Amino acid sequence: MIQIQPINDTKLIDIFKKVLSSLWEKEQNVISRRIWLTWERETLQSIWNSFSPNITRERVRQIEDSWIKKMGRIIKATDLTIIQDKAKEIIDLHSWLITKDKLINTLIKELNLKNDINSSVLEIIIQADYNIVKSKPKLGVRTYFSVPNIWKKEVDAIHVEVLKILKRKNDVMDKVSLYNIVNDLLSTSIKWINIVLIDNVVDIFEDIVKWEDSLIWLASWKILNPKTLKDKAFYVLKKDKVPMHFVDISNKITVYLWDKVKINTIHNELIRNNEFILIGRGIYALKEWGFTPWTIINVITDILTKNKDPMTTEEIIKEVLKVRNVKRTTIYMNLQNKKVIERVWRNYYQLKNNKK
């Protein structure tokens, strides 16, 4: 474990400015503009436009990177190596790959720096280390830092495998279960793969979402960011995986999604959407769980049809309660429907006209 010597925010910035001043004026100018050190931070586009003749944004990025690496040689002779050494330690502890934001936040916390410190300065110091690699910008991918021996093709392979499994499952998955599958599938092609590395790779891709540190799903699924009241109710039931009273659904929407809804409104929404099945006394379940919008007599009829032989009252009640949350007396009253049900001997029932 690295023994960290104290370095406060003021000292850090002062040393960084001295390092920056050792560069040529043009180099100082571009880097300062990119990190909001002496004036408002600028985009690659605006810096590109200021060159005469104009150069491409990719060329600006290449120039910027080469100058940052030049700073790296100077930084090695300063106390800023504390930042680099601690960053390397954090990256190693996260199985050699971590998102930029997570790394910066962890650094600030462990070095007791102020939360409002210029995080771009920290990013430059880390990027200047030859033992640390910063990812290139890509749409849908968060910037990350890694050690040099983590190849982009390996990161992409892990991402692709996670996507394939989630699409095949077509449902929310337990994170650990998913990672174990990926680990088994790729262990021969990626020798240093492990659960922690997979978790950090998932962090960098915006098309995959982790929730409550235990569940994982695709960002394209409506359960991720429910907008309509119907989707919010679906979200709650899908998350808790149990039938629920409409009052509880309303309360859970407030807890999970920070959206207060009226009880009557959510009840009306559940009634008019056939994705939700009323299974008794205000309790709703999802149709995809195998519930059907039948009355109790329909449920009893289906049970007796599948069973074929006469059943006792208790056997019928037990089967009905698996799919409907109703009073036992309600089931018993439906058994007295002589148009459909008949009692064949004491306490046994079968469908009418089903005599053998």
pLDDT digits (tens, 9 = 90+) for 280-328: 778 888 888 877 766 788 888 888 888 888 999 999 999 888 877 778 8
Domain membership flag for residue 341: yes
CA-based nearest residue to 244, from 263, 226, 220: 263
Residues 301 and 285 in one domain: no
Residues 128 and 99 in one domain: yes
- Domain boundaries, position 302: 296-351
Residues 194 and 314 in one domain: no
Please state, in angstroms and rounded to a whole number, the distance separating the CA atoms of residues 125 and 325: 62
Please give the order of strands across the beta sheet that includes 208-211: 173-174, 215-218, 208-211
Residues 71 and 117 in one domain: yes
Residues 34 and 129 in one domain: yes
CA-based nearest residue to 201, from 149, 156, 247, 243: 156
pTM of the model: 0.61
Domain membership flag for residue 1: no
Domain membership flag for residue 63: yes
Residues 6+ apart with CB under 8 A from 281: 245, 325, 326, 327
Please state, in angstroms and rounded to a whole number, the distance separating the CA atoms of residues 325 and 321: 6
Please state, in angstroms and rounded to a whole number, the distance separating the CA atoms of residues 14 and 108: 17
Residues 102 and 190 in one domain: no
DSSP, collapsed to helix, strand or coil, labels residue 30 as: helix
DSSP, collapsed to helix, strand or coil, labels residue 118 as: coil
144 to 84, 195, 302: CA distances (angstroms)? 15, 18, 56
**Model pLDDT, residue 122:** 92
Domain membership flag for residue 246: yes
Residues 113 and 171 in one domain: no
DSSP, collapsed to helix, strand or coil, labels residue 349 as: strand
- Decide if 32 contacts 38 (C-beta within 8 A): yes
**Other CB atoms closer than 10 Å to residue 310's CB: what's the count?**
20
Residues 27 and 137 in one domain: yes
Domain membership flag for residue 321: yes
Residues 13 and 128 in one domain: yes
Tens-binned pLDDT, residue by residue, of the chain (356 aa): 444 456 778 888 889 889 888 888 777 777 777 776 655 565 666 666 666 666 677 777 787 788 888 888 899 999 999 999 999 999 999 999 999 999 999 999 999 988 888 888 899 999 999 999 999 888 899 999 999 999 999 999 999 999 999 999 888 888 999 999 999 999 999 989 999 999 999 999 999 988 767 888 887 775 556 778 888 898 888 888 888 899 999 999 988 887 888 888 898 888 888 889 888 778 888 888 877 766 788 888 888 888 888 999 999 999 888 877 778 888 888 888 888 888 888 889 998 876 54
Residue ending a domain, among 245, 269, 289, is: 289
- Decide if 208 contacts 220 (C-beta within 8 A): no
Residues 16 and 73 in one domain: yes
CA-based nearest residue to 74, from 155, 128, 140, 4: 128
Residue ending a domain, among 165, 194, 218, is: 218
Give the tokens for residue 5.
């010597």
Residues 142 and 268 in one domain: no
Domain membership flag for residue 125: yes
Residue ending a domain, among 260, 289, 318, is: 289
Domain membership flag for residue 21: yes
Q: What is the H or E stretch that residue 17 is in?
A: helix 9-21
Find the CATH number of the domain harbouring 205.
1.10.10
Domain membership flag for residue 3: no
How many structural domains does the chain have?
A: 4
C-alpha angle 319-320-321 in degrees, rounded to nearest 5: 90
Residues 315 and 340 in one domain: yes
